[in-house]
Each structure stands twice: as C-alpha cells, then as structure tokens.
Amino acid sequence: MAAPTGIKSPTRARIAARTLRTDRWWLYPTFTALVLLAFVAYATYRAFSGEHYFAEPYLTPFYSPCVTTECVEGSSHLGTWVGDWWPFSPAVLILVIPLSLRLTCYYYRKAYYRSFWMSPPACSVAEPHRRYTGETRFPLILQNIHRYALYVALAYNVLLTYDAVMAFKSPEGEWGHMGLGTLILVVNAVLLGLYSLSCHSCRHIIGGRLRNFSQHPVRYRAWGMVSVLNGRHAQLAWASLVWVAFTDFYIWMVASGTWSDPRFF
C-alpha cells in the first residue's frame, strides 16, 4: 500500500490541531458557499422557468441568444436555430457557455474547492482528505477545458455587447433611446467582458510563449493591460456574477409587469 500523500504524509509536521489560527478563518469559505449556492438556486429556477425573460428591447443574459422556436416573439435577435426537438427552456441551452468558463476558472476553483470540498478550507488549515490527487482524475480532469471555454466565452461577450446595443431602442423599435435597463445591460456587458479578459488563460494567450517581449511590442502592451486586469480577477469574478443575476432579475420584473422601466430619453 502506497504511503499517504496528503496531510497524513510522514514528511508533514506532526501537529495534532487542525490549525493554529485564532482568527475567524471559516467566515470566508462559509460566505462564499452561501453566495454560490444562492446564485445556483436562482439561476436554476430562472433557467427552467422559461418565462419573463424579454421586455422589448431588453433580453436577459440568461436567455441570450434565444435561438429556439419556443422563444417569445421579438427575443430571437439572431434567428432560431433549434427546433421543437429541444425539450427544455432556451436558457438551458445557453447557460452551458458561461457555466463552462466559471466552473473551470482558476479563481472559482479556489473558491469552491475551499467552500465545498475543503481542499483546503483556508490557508494554514488542514484539509480532511487523506490523499491528494490534484486534477488528474474525473471529474476534475475536465478543468483542462478552461482555455477552450474562454474562446467560446469571448464570443459570448460579443453577443452580450450586441444585446446592450439593441437596448438603445425604444419599445417601439426606434433607435436613439435609453432606459434604466439599457444602462444595466451595458454595465453587464462591460463587467463580463472584463472578467473574461482578466482570465489567467487570456493573459497567457496574449503574452505567453514569447522569448523576447521587445520583438513583440503590440503583444507586450496588450499583455501589460491584461495583467492589470488579472490583478483584479477575483473582484471582477464576483462583480460580474452578482451583476448578471441582478440584470436578469431586473428584466424579469419589467417583463412580468412588476416594475416599469424608467426612460431617460
């Protein structure tokens, strides 16, 4: 039988206490777990509800692009590609794209590994697992799709930007108008775009595999800008997560007639 490679390894210090920390280290993983569970519960309900996701000219990001024949009239800005054979809500087809990026994101791995798997729950706190296998086995080996998920997510950001531009129409379809929903969709597109660009993989794609930055001044400048964003990746991850849920909630309230959308011009 192979020797343990986790916290019970014979090369580790023999400390009986799980941790010597005296601060409330458990607050961060607990809060993270609660927020993520709240988002998952909300997103799941909205994805399967199949209603109140479009209020001319606003389309919630949870249902964008709405490409099934079940989409309400006017919400299929890019046409319908999926026929009646799709048995679920249109959002179930779309949310796979941002979900694949969020689940494999380096920051979110840290967040939910600590919060749900306690691997480890915090710095200087021993994890309860006897062995450590890393991301070499199913299902964690699927984390390796992160870079490819980023490519798809960047294209998805373009679609969300398109939705924000379409929001400058009036409910009657006239251009040059703006409501509170327009502003919310614009902020949503910006935050999600910055979150994708601040990704560690995006930084490596732009500036990686270069032997000499001086021979690639454009990529070096782009790498520098993305590096600045990368330093705020955690904040952008949370801000974009909360805001996309708020954006969907706002459009839900407007589409259901609960709220009216203030028009600026």
pLDDT (tens digit per residue) in 16-48: 777 778 899 999 999 999 999 999 999 999 999
Predicted local distance difference test score (pLDDT) of residue 3: 56
Contacts of 131 (CB under 8 A, 6+ apart): 4, 5, 6
pLDDT band at 7, cuts 50/70/90? low
Give the pLDDT confidence of 160-218 residue by residue, as tens digits. Answer: 999 999 999 998 889 999 999 999 999 999 999 999 999 999 999 999 888 888 899 99
> Comparing 15 with 121, which gets the higher pLDDT?
121
Counting residues of the chain whose pLDDT is more than 90, the rounded percentage is 63
pLDDT band at 81, cuts 50/70/90? confident
> Comparing 149 with 126, which gets the higher pLDDT?
149
pLDDT band at 75, cuts 50/70/90? confident
Count of beta carbons in the 10 Å neighbourhood of residue 185 = 28
Predicted local distance difference test score (pLDDT) of residue 263: 92
Q: What is the DSSP letter of 6?
A: S
pLDDT band at 120, cuts 50/70/90? confident
3-state secondary structure of 55: strand
As a whole number, mean pLDDT of residues 65-77 equals 86
Judged on CB neighbours under 10 Å (0-12, 13-18, 19+), 204 is middle
Predicted local distance difference test score (pLDDT) of residue 2: 55
122/106 Cα distance (integer angstroms): 16
pLDDT band at 138, cuts 50/70/90? confident
Q: Let me know: does 126 contact 120? Beta carbons within 8 Å.
A: yes
164/187 Cα distance (integer angstroms): 9
Q: Let me know: does 93 contact 68? Beta carbons within 8 Å.
A: yes
How far are the Cα atoms of 68, 76, 81, 89, 90 from residue 85, in angstroms, in the given order?
Answer: 9, 17, 11, 12, 12
58/168 Cα distance (integer angstroms): 9
Predicted local distance difference test score (pLDDT) of residue 173: 86
Q: Which residue has the tokens 């798997």?
A: 117
Give the orientation angle of helix 200-207 with respect to helix 146-166, to 10 degrees.
Answer: 100
Phi and psi at residue 23, to the nearest 5°: -85, 175
166/71 Cα distance (integer angstroms): 17
Count of beta carbons in the 10 Å neighbourhood of residue 174 = 10
pLDDT band at 51, cuts 50/70/90? very high
Predicted local distance difference test score (pLDDT) of residue 11: 65
3-state secondary structure of 175: strand
* Alpha carbon distance, N-terminus to C-terminus of the chain: 73
Question: 30-44, 88-102, 235-249 — which is least confidently predicted?
Answer: 88-102
Predicted local distance difference test score (pLDDT) of residue 117: 87
Q: What is the mean pLDDT of the chain?
A: 90
DSSP string, 187-207: HHHHHHHHHHHT-HHHHHHHH
Locate the domains of the chain by residue range: 24-256
Predicted local distance difference test score (pLDDT) of residue 132: 74
